[in-house]
Amino acid sequence: MTIMDPPVWFFSLACLGALYISAISVRPLAYLVRCLRRPKDLHRYGSWAIVTGPTSGLGRSMAFELARRGLNLVLLDLNAANLQETSDAIKSLHSVAIKTLVLDLSLVATPQGDEAIRRLQEAIQGLQVGLLVNNAAVNTPGAVYLHEADIERFVRMIRVNLWGLTEVTAAVLPTMLARGRGAIVNVGSGSTLAVPSFPLYTVYSSTKKYVAHLSRSLYVEYRSKGIDVQYQVPFYVDTRMLSSAVKAKLRPWFVATPDDYTRTAATWIGNGPLCVPGAAQKLQWWLTGFVPDWVHDWYRIRLHLQHREILHGPRAVIANGNSRGGQAERPPNGNSSLGPNNGSLGPNNRD
């Protein structure tokens, strides 16, 4: 029996396939090499860490994890009572010093916001601040078309996720520069890293795209000055930010717990400009690279329309049906049917 030479078309296709797989594998391989590095000792940056949004979800887990590693904490959040509760809970487990500061990031660039940033600068004066974790963010109103929600909600999201993060970073950098060392972690989102679009959560994912670019540029800008800036990217983590709609459509094995996520995330601090903590999350990132953009786009809009229906009810579907020509259903007063006062998006129904 003779072995026949494969036809040219078969050979060409096989070569193209091999090239595609190698190109796609370069990124995870380079990343795996970095996994082998030893975690940095966070104390070498300084004895204090600042965490924004530490009263729930990933921020809370990160605050506990840093305290477990012996770092003192400055905790910044909206609500004084929640901050006190978090501080007490950490102190009951770890012997660290904790300062709390009420800072509503949605007020940046207002007199109140300026005053809060000034208080932050005062509070950290004289402290050896080595680490800043920019974690706080919001994702309300969830899955909506851009024209449907009250614009104030998007403005608030942009202020918290993008503008607030920038101002806090600018306020903390001088103390790190003075000591010639520091690390900054900016928490991003898989919505910008793994997929080409994130329709209906467009403003949220766009704010995270800004954070990704800011982080990379700051990484280059401050590296030579001893400051490591890193963009950390969670995919799905079981926190309050995952709405009932998202949870209803998720396979459990895709979802990390906040504690598992942050335990790994903390070991990556200072190790390169980008990190996707956790093996399952890395695997999701890698696998999404094989999917063509048009498939992502098709799947995402379908899935997010389902989120929208679960979150906002069948009326949203009617609005969608009518909005093919660009018109959404709006009540006669001109306010969006998905605005803040219609009761469908209470504080516990966040994304």
Ligand X SMILES: NC(=O)c1ccc[n+]([C@@H]2O[C@H](COP(=O)([O-])OP(=O)(O)OC[C@H]3O[C@@H](n4cnc5c(N)ncnc54)[C@H](OP(=O)(O)O)[C@@H]3O)[C@@H](O)[C@H]2O)c1
The reply on whether position 167 binds ligand X by CB under 6 A is no
The reply on whether position 120 binds ligand X by CB under 6 A is no
Question: How big is the CA angle at 242 (ends 241 and 244), to the nearest 5 degrees?
Answer: 125
Residue nearest to ligand X (CB): 57
Could you give the residue ranges of the DSSP H alpha helices within 36-110? 57-68, 80-93
Please identify every residue annotated as catalytic. 204
And the tokens for 189? 């989102």
Alpha-carbon gap, residue 293 to 299, rounded angstroms: 10
Among residue numbers 218 through 247, which ones bind ligand X (CB under 6 A)? 234, 236-237, 239-242
Here's the x/- map for ligand X, 172-191, by CB under 6 A: it reads as ---------------x-xx-
Among residue numbers 279 through 338, which ones bind ligand X (CB under 6 A)? none
The reply on whether position 160 binds ligand X by CB under 6 A is yes
And the tokens for 108? 């940046």
Residue at token pair 């999201």: 157
Dihedral through CA 239, CA 243, CA 244, CA 247, nearest 10? -60
Q: Which of 58, 133, 212, 319 binds ligand X (CB under 6 A)?
A: 58
Least distance in angstroms from the C-beta of 130 to ligand X: 21
Alpha-carbon gap, residue 315 to 337, rounded angstroms: 9
Q: Are the C-beta atoms of 195 and 242 separated by less than 8 Å?
A: no
> Please, is 345 exposed, middle or buried when counting C-beta atoms within 10 Å of its C-beta (0-12, 13-18, 19+)?
buried
The reply on whether position 192 binds ligand X by CB under 6 A is no
Among residue numbers 67 through 106, which ones bind ligand X (CB under 6 A)? 77-79, 82, 103-106
The reply on whether position 55 binds ligand X by CB under 6 A is yes
Under the rule (CB under 6 A), what is the footprint of ligand X? Answer: 52-53, 55-59, 77-79, 82, 103-106, 135-138, 160, 187, 189-190, 234, 236-237, 239-242
